[in-house]
Amino acid sequence: MSQIVRMFLIVFVAAFGLMYATAYLNESEGYSGDNTLTVYNWGDYIDPELLERFEEETGIKVIYQTFDSNEAMMTKIKQGGTTFDVAVPSEYAISKMKEDNLLLPIDHSKLPNLKHIDSRFMNLSFDPENAYSVPYFWGTVGIVFHPDLVGDLTFESWDDLWDPSLRNNVFLLDGAREVMGMGLNSLGYSLNDTNEEHLQEALAKLSKLTPNVKAIVGDEIKMLIANEEAAAGLVWSGDASEIMYENEELDYVVPKEGSNLWFDNMVIPKSARNLEGAHQFINFMLDPEVAAQNAEYVGYSTPNKEALAMLPEEISGDERFYPDEELTARLEVYDNLGPRMLSHYNELFLEFKMHRK
């Protein structure tokens, strides 16, 4: 037998043995085939106790993985390699994933708990009839601030962020849509504006904000603002809730010019292997008791009307996180702007960040 053939056989036997051992271990622990469900979600976006409860009730092992942006999530799903049974993208990402044929339709007959979702959050433009997605959380983008550190500023207007008294005292989310949207809204334009003159006007105004910007950061923004490392910050409402839990002196407001009304929905990626388990998990998360527990843990607004009724009044009655219809009417959902315009938004945002250096 030649040396090459001998080496090939050794490698083949070793690889086969490894595959067999892995399959054996997985099966012996009950983690194979239909007993495994891979969930792809944002970081710190579910109560871990609920994953344990789902496993206990169904016998399905949950493999939980996280992402930090819609773009990273879409890229990984599009590339394949890792199989995800349930994912939680935002509205504009859902629209894009539908275009790219990355989603499977959802069987509503397997989701009896879908009836608990408030009709206001169903049948929205990014997914008519909720053919491919089911509401998970919703919220706004606004400003969290420390009243004692900002003087007379109330942030009822986006323009307050530009006040000279806030020099080196503002944190911004590291998100192109959020920051460019803020710039556009502050000028009275739509946060989905594609008019080049308006975009350049927004960039020019954002450039004037740079003296006030202490840093552009990710998840660490919660800890930094809670520790009063800056007087104010551009944040998602759920992050604001968590920040305010850690530091009760802080407040949150959505400026009068308008802002983003976002939705994160549960979907089933096209490469899913455990369709039955995926529907079981989605239906489990729609259970009012489960949704209420999850909302208290995460701090974001629940679209589940029965769950909302179970929450303490200090949560369900807080209009900063459950805004009235007057404010909601001034909010916009992010549209899917298409790859060219989305790339342009990212380029403008990068230009803004480079201007700070």
The predicted-structure confidence for 138-193, as pLDDT tens digits, reads as follows 999 999 999 999 999 999 999 999 999 999 999 999 999 999 999 999 999 999 99
At 325 the pLDDT is: 80
Whether 94 and 265 have beta carbons less than 8 Å apart is answered as: yes
At 31 the pLDDT is: 42
Higher per-residue confidence, 324 vs 270: 270
pLDDT of 4 above 90: no
* Region for residue 81 given its phi and psi (left: phi exceeds 0; alpha: psi -120 to 50; beta: otherwise): left
Whether 40 and 73 have beta carbons less than 8 Å apart is answered as: yes
Does 64 count as an annotated binding residue?
A: no
Residue 297 main-chain phi, psi, to 5 deg: -70, -45
At 29 the pLDDT is: 37
pLDDT of 308 above 90: yes
At 356 the pLDDT is: 67
Whether 234 and 182 have beta carbons less than 8 Å apart is answered as: yes
Sign of CA dihedral 27, 32, 33, 36: positive
237: closest CA among 103, 137, 325? 137
Residue 172, H or E segment: strand 170-173
At 189 the pLDDT is: 97
Residue 42, H or E segment: strand 36-42
pLDDT of 238 above 80: yes
In angstroms, how far is CA 234 from the centroid of its own chain? Answer: 15
Query: pLDDT confidence of 219, banded at 50, 70, 90?
Result: confident
Look up the pTM and report it: 0.79
Residue 236, H or E segment: strand 232-236
Structural domains of the chain in order of their starting residue, each with its CATH number:
31-133+267-316 (3.40.190.10), 139-262+324-355 (3.40.190.10)
